[in-house]
Amino acid sequence: MAKPAELSPASPAMEVRTPPKDPGPSKLAGPATWVDERIGLAKLMSNIRKVFPDHWSFLLGEIALYSFVILLLTGVFLTIWFKPSMAEVDYAGSYELLRHVRMSEAFSSTLSISFDIRGGLLVRQIHHWSAMLFVAAMTVHMLRVFFTGAFRKPRELNWLIGVGLLSIGLVEGFAGYSLPDDLLSGTGLRFVDGLIRSIPLIGTWAEFFVFAGEFPGTLVIPRLYMVHILLVPGLLLGLISAHMALLVYHKHTHWPAPGRTNHNIQGYPFFPIYVAKAGGFFFIVFGITILMGALIQINPVWLYGPYNPSQVTAGSQPDWYMGFVEGAIRIIPNWEWHVLGTTWSWNIFLPGVALMGLLFTALAVYPFIEAWITGDKSEHHLLDRPRNAPNRTAFGVAGMAAYGMLWLAGGNDIIATQFQVSLNNVTYFMRVAVFVVPVLAFIVTKRICLSLQRADKDRVLHGSETNIIVRSPDGGYSEAHVPISQGEAYSLTRHPQLDALPPNGEKLGRTRQRLSRWYADGQVPTPTVEEIEAAAHHSDAPALEGSDTAESGVSH
Amino acid sequence: MRFLTSGRRHKAARPLLLLLSLFLVGAVYAAVSPATSSSAEGVADAQLVAAGKNLFAVNCASCHGLNAEGLAQQGAPNLTNVGAAAVDFQVRTRRMPMANPLTQAVPGSKTIFTDDEIKALAAYVASLGNGPAIPDQNQYDPSNVSAEGAARGGDLFRTNCSACHNFKGAGGALPNGVVAPRIENTPPEQVWEALRTGPGQMPVFAAGAIPDQDVQKVIAYIKQVNAAPSAGLSLGGLGPVAEGFWAWVAGIGSLVLFAIWIATRGTRA
Ligand code: HEM
């Protein structure tokens, strides 16, 4: 920052003073210089050549970023007309089927955004769809980071920021969902009221604190409004900035390939290539969200009607990102303690508050636990292919399976009606599945990873299959193989080997020792140079390779 | 009204009801429908009831018993006091005669009886006891309901029906495999009858709770809310579960495809 002028090759000061003499280039250079002299534009420009590697999975985070921009734009439009007030009014807008129904001003203003303000319904629907996509994109982005090991040193902090973004993204979405004060949002608030009250000891006090008295009171919508349009967006904005800054500081990770190492980065420069790609992608995200807003109805609050504590509807569900909590609550047995006139609602506290705490704690500590198990303190800028970290991958898939089961349980009534099965049976099934399916998923995933490792090793040693079946003189059949390229062989053998921590007795606890041995166990070692060379000599007669194995035994 | 519904199905109530029905049938037959008992009609009614009794013996008695007293082993209830409206509802929606007595009576596409046969069956069951009659058109017809009335009907619908039938009548699940069906296209007459007779697990909504004018408003609301244009694909009116599904499949799905497409578009920098 100290010497911006020096860095700018196009800033001879006289050009600025005598613009009329040289109208051509100065038209552009003039303003650029002006800005450069004040904020050091040229320095910024050097960042603009930063290199970004190209892979579709690196664009998932961008979907989240662009959705957030869409949310800000459409959200500002909504704030112009939305009235965050729980004062009761007699609806007199143009939706006839609610005429003269008593409702809060929040609900009535949502109706008027939908029916009386030009473009209002479209913007509401875009806003809501992009909220769904925002959280969904954060989720898939996080999964990408998880399964490729991009959270490892030095990026743990950015992972933590991501976990923070995801959790307050849920809060933001929930607050927004509650604002219109329709039947579903009121039901959702009631649900959260229940969660708050289930907290042991302080529950009731916390409820009075949040709602300023008993549910629903008259203050909760204005409060949520403040949370939704000021507090959380501010936090999101700050965290997103920090997230991006760290990204630039660490540089992006990349996949192993010839020329790509832990110490360099290959890809396209941010400007102009990546800007064109990313900019184009922004418009695609924007376009798809608008299409969804224009073509698919979302949150038709006029059908739900205003919130009324005495009403409830079949199919009351939260938006998808709260579905796992809903599911856990739907399937938990009715555990409750009654001690000395107090009620301890474990049936709500465990699946609600504790489950959310568990999910986000597990996400937050995972990188540190893995590093502790492997004892790995080195920096990682090359990504892992998921198969090369079988336990991590299996653990991630198991987590997804548990989440997926809870999700399904949250829609148990819809499953029951749409597939004509009994609601009770779905519920009993889910109670078991939520524990069993993740275990199965872990075992199956780990096996798949290991066999993929084996397949990789085969490919390096014996080349790729040609789909040509050769009949040998003695009547056996086998498939001909051709060697793979050097580049591919490099990529397939580049991944680090997991080593169990050396047994050094008392310094490492027994648990850690065991865990680390288990973690490294079973992996298929990458082929050694000798093995590759031996296989290469052998490949004079590649056709006979594996003629004794079952897969190619089409013989006789 | 809840206790009436459940009391009616109580096992111990059956013998009592049987006695009561015998008493009613035998002793006070003439008093069953005093409002329409001019002598000529009385003869016509008697013929209708006789025809209905025959139809009943052939089609219904295997489950409900020869005198409609109900057979416990079939799980078929006593029909003494269910009234003509219940028969009309059950037969017209093709719930009865039931195919498989172990499950909930599922409505079919078309009744297997003619109008006259249904009338006869209904008259026979009505002759056994006291129950709601088949409604006149002016009791259920929603065509005179004002716009404001329909809005009031919406409020009643959300208070009384949406818990089981969903916010626009798209249906919902009840415990033990029972389903509250879609009612978007149920004809007004059958809606009225469903309210007054409480089929299956549905409670009875008697005239004291929801008078006929209000039933018309509810019907008007169901019709109008389903006829109103939706703001794009309505996703079956199932609420947030369907929305989440679309966000993932259509939204994230297509965006990921685009991401793959963009990343494979090579550029020479
Ligand atoms: C930061 C800028 C944002 C602003 C200014 C904003 C503003 C608003 C306003 C005024 C409403 C109420 C009006 C209405 O419901 O139609 C609303 C609703 C909502 N907001 Fe936001 N919002 C923002 C960001 C977000 C984000 C990041 C999410 C999700 C993660 C989100 C999710 C929602 C949802 C689900 C609704 C309910 C929409 C509906 O009625 O269908 N908003 N928002």
In whole angstroms, what is the distance from residue A28 CA to residue B155 CA? 64
Q: Is there a contact between B225 and A97 if contact means CB atoms under 8 Å apart?
A: yes
Candidates B167, B182, B254, B257: best to mutate against A (most CBs of A within 10 A) is B167
Query: What is the distance in angstroms between the Cα of A303 and the nearest Cα belonging to chain B?
Result: 6
Res B42 pLDDT > 70:
no
> Residues with beta carbon inside 6 Å of ligand 1?
A 71-72, 75-76, 78-79, 82, 110, 113, 124, 127-128, 131, 134-135, 169, 172-173, 176-177, 179-180, 228-229, 233, 299
Q: Establish if A287 touches chain B: CB-CB under 8 angstroms.
A: no
pLDDT digits (tens, 9 = 90+) for A535-553: 777 654 444 444 444 443 3
Please tell me the distance between residue A71's alpha carbon and the centre of ligand 1 in angstroms: 7
Q: Note whether residue B69 is domain-resident.
A: no
Interface of A with B in 86-125 (CB under 8 A): 96-101, 114, 121, 125
Query: What is the distance in angstroms between the Cα of B250 and the nearest Cα belonging to chain A?
Result: 9
Contact by Cβ (8 Å): A484, A460: yes
Q: Which one of A276, A297, A421 has the shortest CB-CB distance to B232?
A: A297
Candidates B157, B246, B255, B261: best to mutate against A (most CBs of A within 10 A) is B255
For ligand 1, mutation pick of A103, A179, A301 (most atoms within 8 Å of CB): A179
Interface of B with A in 47-76 (CB under 8 A): none
Q: Note whether residue B186 is domain-resident.
A: yes
Interface of B with A in 176-205 (CB under 8 A): 176-177, 179-180
| One pLDDT digit (tens) per residue for chain A, 556 residues | 444 444 444 444 444 444 455 455 556 678 888 888 888 777 767 677 777 778 889 999 999 999 999 999 999 999 999 999 999 999 999 999 999 999 999 999 999 999 999 999 999 999 999 999 999 999 999 999 999 999 998 999 999 999 999 999 999 999 999 999 999 999 999 999 999 999 988 888 999 999 988 888 889 999 999 999 999 999 999 999 999 999 988 888 888 887 777 777 777 777 677 788 888 899 999 999 999 999 999 999 999 999 988 888 887 888 899 999 999 999 998 888 888 888 888 888 999 889 999 999 999 999 999 999 888 888 888 888 999 999 999 999 999 999 999 999 988 888 888 888 888 899 999 999 999 999 999 999 999 999 999 998 888 888 888 888 888 888 888 888 888 888 888 888 878 787 777 766 556 677 888 888 888 888 888 888 888 888 777 654 444 444 444 443 333 4
**What is the count of structural domains for chain B?**
2
Contact by Cβ (8 Å): A151, A366: yes
Contact by Cβ (8 Å): B144, A382: no
Please tell me the distance between residue A224's alpha carbon and the centre of ligand 1 in angstroms: 11
Residues B54-73 have a mean pLDDT of 89
Contact by Cβ (8 Å): A65, A266: no
- Contact list, A323 vs chain B (CB under 8 Å): 240-241, 244
Q: Which one of B168, B251, B263 has the shortest CB-CB distance to A129?
A: B251
pLDDT at res. B107: 78
Q: Establish if B228 touches chain A: CB-CB under 8 angstroms.
A: yes
Res B148 pLDDT > 60:
yes
Candidates A313, A316, A426: best to mutate against B (most CBs of B within 10 A) is A313
Q: Is there a contact between A101 and B151 if contact means CB atoms under 8 Å apart?
A: yes
pLDDT at res. A529: 80
- Contact list, B232 vs chain A (CB under 8 Å): 125, 293-298
Q: Note whether residue B98 is domain-resident.
A: no
Say which CATH number the domain at B198 has. Answer: 1.10.760.10
Contact by Cβ (8 Å): A111, A93: yes
Does the domain formed by A52-306 have CATH 3.90.650.10?
A: no
Query: What is the distance in angstroms between the Cα of A416 and the nearest Cα belonging to chain B?
Result: 6
pLDDT at res. A77: 96
ipTM, two decimals, is 0.82
Please tell me the distance between residue B259's alpha carbon and the centre of ligand 1 in angstroms: 26
Q: Establish if A299 touches chain B: CB-CB under 8 angstroms.
A: yes
Q: Establish if B14 touches chain A: CB-CB under 8 angstroms.
A: no
In whole angstroms, what is the distance from residue A395 CA to residue A375 CA? 18
Instruction: Identify the CA nearest to A73 among candidates A17, A134, A27, A148.
Output: A134
Q: Radius of gyration over alpha carbons of chain A, in Å?
A: 30
In whole angstroms, what is the distance from residue B70 CA to residue B62 CA? 9
pLDDT at res. A31: 82
Name beta bridge partners: A451: none
Q: Which one of B163, B170, B224 has the shortest CB-CB distance to A97?
A: B224
Query: What is the distance in angstroms between the Cα of B247 and the nearest Cα belonging to chain A?
Result: 6
Domain that holds residue B200: 136-228
Q: Note whether residue B160 is domain-resident.
A: yes
Q: Radius of gyration over alpha carbons of chain B, in Å?
A: 24
Q: Which one of B172, B247, B252 has the shortest CB-CB distance to A417?
A: B172
Q: Note whether residue B202 is domain-resident.
A: yes
- CB contact set of A262 (below 8 Å; sequence gap of 6+): A379, A380, A381, A382
Read off the pLDDT band of B24 (50, 70, 90): low
Please tell me the distance between residue A361's alpha carbon and the centre of ligand 1 in angstroms: 27
Nearest CA in chain A to B181: A417
Residues B256-262 have a mean pLDDT of 91
B80-115: b (≥16 Cβ within 10 Å) or e = bbbbbbbbbbbbbbbbbbbeeeeebbebeeebebee
Q: Is there a contact between A281 and B250 if contact means CB atoms under 8 Å apart?
A: no
Query: Token digits for B37?
Result: 């008992």
Res B2 pLDDT > 80:
no
Instruction: Identify the CA nearest to B216 among candidates B117, B137, B145.
Output: B145
pTM of the complete model:
0.83
Q: Establish if B102 touches chain A: CB-CB under 8 angstroms.
A: no
- B114 DSSP assignment: -
Q: Establish if B244 touches chain A: CB-CB under 8 angstroms.
A: yes
Read off the pLDDT band of B40 (50, 70, 90): low
Give the length of chain A.
Answer: 556
- Contact list, B172 vs chain A (CB under 8 Å): 313-315, 413, 417
State chain A's mean pLDDT as an integer.
Answer: 85
Please tell me the distance between residue B233's alpha carbon and the centre of ligand 1 in angstroms: 21
Q: In this structure, which residue's CA is closest to atom 40 in ligand 1? A: A180
Q: DSSP secondary structure string, B151-190?
A: HHHHHHHHHHTHHHH-TTS--EE-STT-EE---TT--HHH
Residue B170 CB burial class (10 angstroms; 0-12, 13-18, ≥19): buried
Q: Which one of A96, A101, A410 has the shortest CB-CB distance to B155?
A: A101
Q: Establish if B172 touches chain A: CB-CB under 8 angstroms.
A: yes
Q: In this structure, which residue's CA is closest to atom 19 in ligand 1? A: A176
